[in-house]
Structure 1
């Protein structure tokens, strides 16, 4: 009996050791048979399920594609993988390599660039719609007094949200305006570039107008409205426009505004501008840390605009993403009606939702499951929600801190986003 007990205990120990050894030496998830349950084990060990994805981001940092990054994956509202890579600030102005660069951390705050369009402005419009104060099909001219050009009478809030209003994609508004009031009046006078509703033409100006609509209807500035009606209720302490310098560190971005300056000076770079490029002489000459990169937000809107200017962390963005994935519910409390969220996350004829990109080619992820939604930001930010797996992915980088290359461009992070997302989805399939 005693010998049998010893043999039994030894057998159990051997099995446990074998399982542990096998688990720790599994090949990347993309090489495994697909599990029946779509739940990735929560782990900080990159050698288990997230080794392949972590290695993709690490290689991007090691090869100087980006100075640093924060990767965050949530499922069912729970963090299942979070990791910071590289540096929040690696270079000082003039591409001077810092002797002691600032390390990236999970709570680093990022300039979200165009993620502002969805995590601030789209949420703002959603809240006002949910409250019955506006509707997506309301004409913009009914709200903004300066929007009186008869050729624009048919433009609705929906057109602005779906980039189909016919507005020009970009213009240096700060050549004509020094504050929001002047910017609103100037944008309202610009002629349309395309027929209303004829096509999707991604436009910063449309989201500037949406920001003005939120302020007009709520009778508050954009940041105050969002703080009172959403961010503070969710206890988001590091999500705001013009963030306080107290608190978590910032991921530093560009060395002034070299990209935008080239857009104005070079007719073959970006969009052709009619302005005299020498008219504006207030270009910044320092590395931006906690100060919005976007020129139209900084110079013409004092850092608070509907298209750019929001700062946040990966964790707090996951809470906002989770609010959408969970149909308006966070910690058992309802903040937005399910029908309102469904309205905003239903594809239009261009294949996108209201504010959110939903086409695999626009996110861009080839194997994106139906119903998924996402957005990118020029500073190197990225977010995608995948309802099929109730999963949120946030990948934030500070690619601009490397400064522009010899062509005047920043390193492209499109492939990095694509590789991370597609491999994550393969792990779930």
Structure 2
């Protein structure tokens, strides 16, 4: 039964993880964003420290992201008191930072005296909140590898008490992909008196919607899976996770209910009045996980950036790290396959979230995987570039009303994406722009004779947020700008004619052609607009050629000096 993952769910091996090989037949040079990798990294890949340049990265975008992360710890109303970051590419940790404070407040408002505040360290231990769901999911998939679980099987086969009140048909896959129909959470800590009654409440709960018809992110899904792991393994969840995940990977600072000897390295979370816990530090922040003894399928794990990077590299390696395998390759491939194609905004593998630009930023793509945590944490894995981005903050310290840190999550991941190179499609230089939210950049050519329709061709590398657009525009007879319909060809290009180019994740150059209208004189410009959220790596234009059918009117490779850039740069990266 060891291979039953294939029969429990249709194993869709497509795209970047397709095929049976572990690695690309001819590995791409490191540092390239426009050369997506196929398959997994070599199983022998072990993380080491090195400068960005050692793996072909431009350090400038990384420095800019680090500066932004640090700035968010400052001022009268910081986004979070402190943060630890880690960026890795091709097996090399290229950047680590620790800024701000792990402990800053005495209660819900008052700051501690300066000499009692605890600065962040690179080895600060964080309550990673819902990132714990990844450990539970990996634990479930360990049981799949053992032949004890089939992901397509009904949960009630393994937990008969779960199969009541409309949950009889819910499968393990639906729990892992949050399509079970269970509601997000219930106040176990408040409304039930002990662990046994709290677990029973989850087992008894009726789904809020019919299973399989919608996506609803639910803690109850993973609480149930934690119970499943315990039932089938005969071991408490924390013991099973230690035995099968953290011990083999030698994650010495990762686990549940950290010992008091590590308290000085643990970041504080929230000052809680209800329940009356005071300043929470060293205990799980999530109230339900706390009420379940600190060990639950949905929350409870504490970890460091370095330990999480090892887990991430093990996934990029196809389940192996430093000679120790925790999952089979096809099991990891299944975890990184999207089973939620019916819910396009909620792509999800077996435990891993996929292709979520709201925190994956410029590393987003069909197989980009990761998770976030309510306490202010995120992990992004990008198999296409074999990269890892980790942001750990204590944004709920001392209260949960600081607001979203998604801007910081995106900033870090996008900084790493922009450090990766996109080489010119022709010649030695290209025009590039990487804007933030709600911005505009224009690249304007010279005035051209327009007595005949102009044929315009250019190469475009488009990695933009879902609402961001690259437009080709031309002046009409009145001198007003009008969009020109274009037709792009290449992997991921839009079908047919369009007035705007957008998209991300394909990481390929497109050839774009258009016919500009007849006018006495005509000026062309390339205009990039971003909306108020989610920017990707940016867009690049190269190999601009404009003719009237018989004469060359503009050759961008030979005449870059004729272009007027606003927000665009001429470079080679």
TM-score above 0.5, yes or no? yes
Q: Which residue of 2 aligns with 1:88?
A: 102
Q: Which moved more, 1:245-254 or 1:222-231?
A: 245-254
Q: Which residue of 1 aligns with 2:81?
A: 67
Bigger strand fraction = 2
Deviation at 1:55, TM superposition (A): 0.6
Among 382, 388, 410, which residue is 1:386 paired with?
A: 382
Among 351, 372, 382, which residue is 1:355 paired with?
A: 351
1:202 paired to 2:194: no
> How far apart in 1 are the matches of 2:354 and 2:387?
15
Q: Which residue of 2 aligns with 1:337?
A: 328
Among 249, 272, 281, which residue is 1:256 paired with?
A: 272
1:425 paired to 2:441: no
Structure 2, unpaired ranges of 5+: 1-30, 37-50, 422-573
1:98 paired to 2:108: no
Q: Which residue of 2 aligns with 1:399?
A: 395
Q: Do the aligned partners of residues 144 and 298 (structure 1) sit closer, same or farther apart at CA in structure 2, a change above 3 Å counting?
A: same
> How far apart in 1 are the matches of 2:287 and 2:54?
40
> How far apart in 1 are the matches of 2:352 and 2:404?
21
Among 199, 209, 218, which residue is 2:233 paired with?
A: 218
> How far apart in 2 are the matches of 1:307 and 1:285?
20
> How far apart in 1 are the matches of 2:362 and 2:148?
38
Structure 1 length normalisation: TM-score? 0.80
3-state DSSP of counterpart to 2:379: strand
3-state DSSP of counterpart to 1:73: strand
3-state DSSP of counterpart to 1:396: strand
1:34-74 Cα offsets, whole Å, 9 max, x none, are 8889993369xx97562101111011111311100000012
Bigger helix fraction = 1
Structure 2 length normalisation: TM-score? 0.61
Q: Is the 8 A contact 1:245 1:290 kept in 2?
A: yes
Q: Is the 8 A contact 2:360 2:414 kept in 1?
A: no
> How far apart in 2 are the matches of 1:399 and 1:220?
33
> How far apart in 2 are the matches of 1:164 and 1:380?
25
Q: Which residue of 1 aligns with 2:564?
A: none
Q: Which residue of 2 aligns with 1:26?
A: none
1:112 paired to 2:128: yes
Q: Which residue of 1 aligns with 2:174?
A: 159
Q: Do the aligned partners of residues 364 and 230 (structure 1) sit closer, same or farther apart at CA in structure 2, a change above 3 Å counting?
A: closer
Q: Which residue of 2 aligns with 1:288?
A: 280
Q: Do the aligned partners of residues 410 and 178 (structure 1) sit closer, same or farther apart at CA in structure 2, a change above 3 Å counting?
A: farther
> How far apart in 2 are the matches of 1:159 and 1:343?
14
Q: Which moved more, 1:289-298 or 1:353-362?
A: 353-362
Map of 1:320-335 to 2, 5 A cutoff? 320-335=311-326
> How far apart in 2 are the matches of 1:330 and 1:208?
28
Q: Is the 8 A contact 1:292 1:309 kept in 2?
A: yes
- Please tell me whether Structure 1 or Structure 2 has the larger radius of gyration of its CA atoms: 2
Among 187, 190, 208, which residue is 1:193 paired with?
A: 208
> How far apart in 2 are the matches of 1:42 and 1:254?
40
3-state DSSP of counterpart to 1:392: strand
Among 120, 139, 145, which residue is 1:130 paired with?
A: 145
Structure 1, unpaired ranges of 5+: 1-32, 262-282
1:377 paired to 2:378: no
Q: RMSD of the alignment, in Å? A: 2.2
